[in-house]
Amino acid sequence: MAEPILSVRGLETFFRADEGTVRAVDGASFDLHPGQTLGIVGESGCGKSVTARSILRIVERPGRVEGGEVLLRRADGSVVDVVKLPADGREIREIRGGDVGYVFQEPMSSLSSYHTIGNQLVEAVRLHSSATKAEARARAIELLRMVGIPRPEQRVDSYSFELSGGLRQRVMIALALAAEPRVLIADEPTTALDVTTQAQILDLIRRIQRERNLAVILITHDMGVIAEMADTVAVMYLGKVVETGPVDAIFHAPRHPYTQSLLRSIPSVLAEPLSRLATISGSIPHPFARPPGCPFHPRCDRHIRGTCEAGAPPVVELAPGHEARCFLYADQAGGAR
Amino acid sequence: MVTYILQRLGLALVTIWAISVVSFVIIQLPPGDFVDTYITNLASSGSAVGAAEAQALREQYGLDKPIWVQYAKWISQISRGDFGMSMEWGRPVLEVIGDRLWMTIVISLAAILITWGIALPIGIYSAVRQYSIADYIFTFVGFVGLAVPNFLLALIIMYFGFKLFDLNIGGLFSAEYQLAAWSWGKAWDMAKHLPLPATILALAGTAQLIRIMRANLLDELRRPYVTTARARGLAEWRVIMKYPVRAALNPFASTIGYLLPFVVSGSIVVSLVLSLPTVGPLLLRSLIAQDMFLAGSIVLLLGILTVIGTFISDLILMWIDPRIRAGMHG
């Protein structure tokens, strides 16, 4: 496959508090290729959003990116390690919005209610280009039309609270695309929306991706969305990527016990009536009390006593592009790292 | 939008009427009346007032009539622009208040501007650099500022001003302009005297305002729209000034109306200490003397100014808060 546009290696983002350190992202690695969609999936609190925010270095205090590499190939072909850039420097600000657009989960509160959506769009356009006010406004209207907002000439002067949730999320997408980035991070873009609107927003993302050959990182806890949208999948658990692979392999031949349990817990219309939905036993451990060894072992149904709690499991390549971080496959670890 | 403004205006008029009733009633509440106080004062200096004379005084001021008649007479006079006679000074109320009302407004506005000028930047800094050393220092100074009574501060500053710089900071005018008519020279003289008393008055609200601004901004800084703006590639200080600071300032617009009476009533003692020619000391004195027309007029005028201030802050809110404008259409 071609060179990845974004390559995350051993990313570590910690939240240091008086009570202890939360290792929100604890050595996550994955690659993103142009025109492809990477789905990051996992339960709430597993570090999906923090991973995505770490890529743009917009993690809220007291969170800090403390290790690893985020290698971004910029438009001119140069590769830059985002982790090494100063946090409010010129280059990282060019990358934010310019190279990587970000769509947030909460369309309700992610837009300022004191400024028109046009004001925010024009700002985003002008930050990354030399457009005049009038040009930027024309571009803003064009962006709104592109994301399917009716009567964009009028809507450009409205405020976010005058729009429905679906329209607001469309505005968020327009805002993320204002400076024509080559990577789009969509952080649970449909969680706050109703089902019909969800489908429309996903269609929109897919259409724009095709038109612009965008690389998309889609963060969700919804396996259905992953199945529909993703080319490759990274499954996260407690800050670690436990399994990555092509979407078909993940759905049809999941290898990590956590991925297997996640898939079992999806409700199916084919299920026996009145049968119980499978759940993952236990709950996510307290952030200050991470289990030793493999973090999933207390909830794992294929727990190997004496091994899983003793040390960190190896990353095993099971097939080209399909890796799992588990002791079950340690003996196949020909290509283990 | 016009309906909204007219509605507000109508409410303002009703409020002013209610204030006039309440202020009249309150002034009547203490036992006795001006004549009683007047007699006591004269008695303490050795001369006596006969019952007939007291009766004549009461008739002159209409104090023998029932309270609602007194009110009706008072309010109908006021609606014609006549605020009645001050009993204590023996001169028309308007003449007694005279320039003091404008002095009060000028000095209060100066104090408010200074308060904002000091408090808002510090509040913003404290919130953005929360738990930094500077934040702790400002917080400490702020709490000390909250705890120290203002008149004490005025006394201390006066003492050191006199001791170290041979400066007499009492009053608003130099001796030669004290009784002079208004001229450019007098206005300039006032402008020179204004900063110190205005600053002392300003320091009262400053500590509190720092705390409010800091808390407002800390709330706003955690909102998702701040992260969104950052993710767009906006520089950090522009993110903060354009979005959360804007939102954190909004509540201040709604308090503009209350600032004036707050400064006036909160500054009576300071005004006495600094011998400022404002209405505060006059109000205190008229209340002690039960000079009801003077006291009533001052309370009424302050009430009217508050209502006007509130009306103005409604207009400002309408102008700066798109959500309020949107609410008026739908």
> What pLDDT digit, counting tens, does each position of B113-130 carry?
898 899 999 999 999 998
CATH code, B205: 1.10.3720.10
Where among A147, A180, A213 does a domain terminate? Answer: A180
DSSP state of A322: E
> What angle, rounded to 10 degrees, do the helices at A90-98 and B224-231 form?
100
> Which of A180, A200, A228 is the C-terminal boundary of a domain?
A180
Nearest CA in chain A to B224: A110
Whole-complex ipTM = 0.86
Q: What are the tokens at A107? A: 């369309």
| CA B184 to chain centroid | 26
Long-range contacts (CB closer than 8 Å, 24 or more residues apart) made by B138-145: B138/B210, B141/B207, B142/B206, B142/B207, B142/B210, B142/B211, B143/B207, B144/B207, B145/B203, B145/B206, B145/B207
Q: Per the structure, how many domains does chain A have?
A: 2
Q: Would B305 be classed as within a structural domain?
A: no
Token representation of residue B159: 């003492």
What b/e sequence results for A92-114 when a residue is b if at least 16 CB atoms lie within 10 Å of its CB, and e otherwise? bbbbbbbbbbbbbbbbbbbbbbb
B292-320 helix and B256-266 helix, angle to the nearest 10 degrees: 150
- Give the number of other Cβ atoms within 10 Å of residue B154's Cβ: 26
- Two tokens, residue A5: 């546009």
Helices (H), B99-223: 99-128, 133-147, 150-165, 184-193, 195-221
Residue B30: pLDDT over 80 = no
Flag whether B230 is in a domain: yes
**What local confidence, expressed as pLDDT, does residue B156 receive?**
86
Query: Does B13 reside within a domain?
Result: no
Structural domain harbouring A136? 108-180
The range of the structural domain enclosing residue B247 comes to: 99-290
Please indicate whether, in this complex, the C-beta atoms of A127 and B320 are within 8 angstroms of each other: no
**Is residue B50 within 8 angstroms of chain A, CB to CB?**
no
In terms of Cα–Cα distance, which of A145, A137, A136 is closest to A173? A145
Task: Give 3-state DSSP helix, strand, coil % of chain A, rounded to 5.
Answer: 35, 25, 40
Chain A, chain B: beta-carbon pairs less than 8 Å apart: 81
Res B328 pLDDT > 70:
no
Among B40, B101, B81, B90, CA closest to B61: B90
Work out the angle at residue B308's Cα, subtended by the Cα atoms of residues B304 and B311, and round it to the nearest 5 degrees: 140
| A272 domain residue, yes or no | yes
Position A53 in a domain: no
- Are the C-beta atoms of A49 and A244 separated by less than 8 Å? no
Residues 234-293 (B) with a CB less than 8 A from some CB of A: 234-236, 242-243, 246-247, 250
B213 lies in a domain?
A: yes
Contact between B326 and A159 using a beta-carbon 8 Å cutoff:
yes
DSSP symbol at A333? G
- CA contacts within 13 A on the Cβ side of A275: 13
CA distance A18 to B226: 25
Of residues B34 and A238, more confidence is placed in: A238
Neighbouring C-beta atoms of residue B77, cutoff 10 Å: 14
In the chain, the amino acid numbered B245 is V
Taking the Cβ of residue B229 and every Cβ of chain A, the question of whether any pair is shorter than 8 Å is answered with yes
Q: How far is CA B263 from the centre of its chain?
A: 3
Question: Would you say residue A306 lies in a domain?
Answer: yes
Out of A97, A112, A114, the one facing B233 most closely (by C-beta) is: A97
For chain A, say whether B322 makes contact (Cβ under 8 Å): yes
Which residue in A114, A126, A173 has the most chain B C-beta atoms within 10 A of its own C-beta, making it the best mutation to test that interface? A114
Q: How far apart are CA A121 and CA A265, in angstroms?
A: 40
pLDDT at A68: 92
Whether residue A291 is contained in a domain is answered as: yes
Number of domains comprising chain B: 1
Cα nearest neighbour of B228 on chain A: A110
Q: Is B35:B63 a contact under the CB 8 Å cutoff?
A: yes
Q: List CB contacts (< 8 A) between B234 and chain A.
A: 93, 123, 127
Mutation for B interface: A108, A109, A113, most B CBs within 10 A: A113
Q: For residue A288, is it within any domain?
A: yes
Q: Examine residue B68 and state whether it is found in any structural domain, yes or no.
A: no
Residue A39, burial from CB neighbour count under 10 angstroms (0-12, 13-18, 19+)? buried
Asked if B326 is an interface residue toward chain A (Cβ–Cβ < 8 A), one would say yes
> Could you give the CA distance from residue B257 to residue B264 in angstroms, rounded to a whole number?
13
Q: What's the gap in Å between the CA of A212 and the closest CA on chain B?
A: 19
3-class SS of residue A245: strand
Q: In this structure, is residue B203 part of a structural domain?
A: yes
Task: Quote the pLDDT of residue B330.
Answer: 43
Examine residue B265 and state whether it is found in any structural domain, yes or no. Answer: yes
The burial of B58, by beta-carbon neighbours within 10 Å (0-12 exposed, 13-18 middle, 19 or more buried), is given as: middle
- Looking at residue A1, what is its pLDDT? 54
Set of chain B residues whose Cβ sits within 8 Å of the Cβ of A124: 232-233
On whether residue A92 sits in a domain, the answer given is no
Count CB-CB contacts under 10 A for residue A130. 7
Residues of A in contact with B320 (CB under 8 A): 114
Walk along chain A (337 residues) and give the pLDDT tens digit of each residue. 578 999 999 999 999 888 888 889 998 999 999 999 999 998 888 889 999 999 999 998 888 999 999 999 998 889 999 999 988 889 999 999 999 999 998 888 899 989 999 999 999 999 999 999 999 999 999 999 999 999 999 999 999 999 998 899 999 999 999 999 999 999 999 887 888 888 999 999 999 999 999 999 999 988 889 999 999 999 999 999 999 999 999 999 999 999 998 898 887 777 777 777 777 877 788 878 888 889 899 888 888 888 888 888 999 999 888 999 999 988 775 544 4
pLDDT digits (tens, 9 = 90+) for B131-171: 899 999 998 988 888 888 888 888 888 888 788 876 666 67
Which chain B residues are Cβ-neighbours of A178 within 8 angstroms? 232
In a domain, B174, yes or no: yes
Enter the pTM of the model: 0.82
Q: Is B112's pLDDT higher than 90?
A: no
Nearest C-alpha neighbor of A293 from the set A320, A327, A318, A322: A327
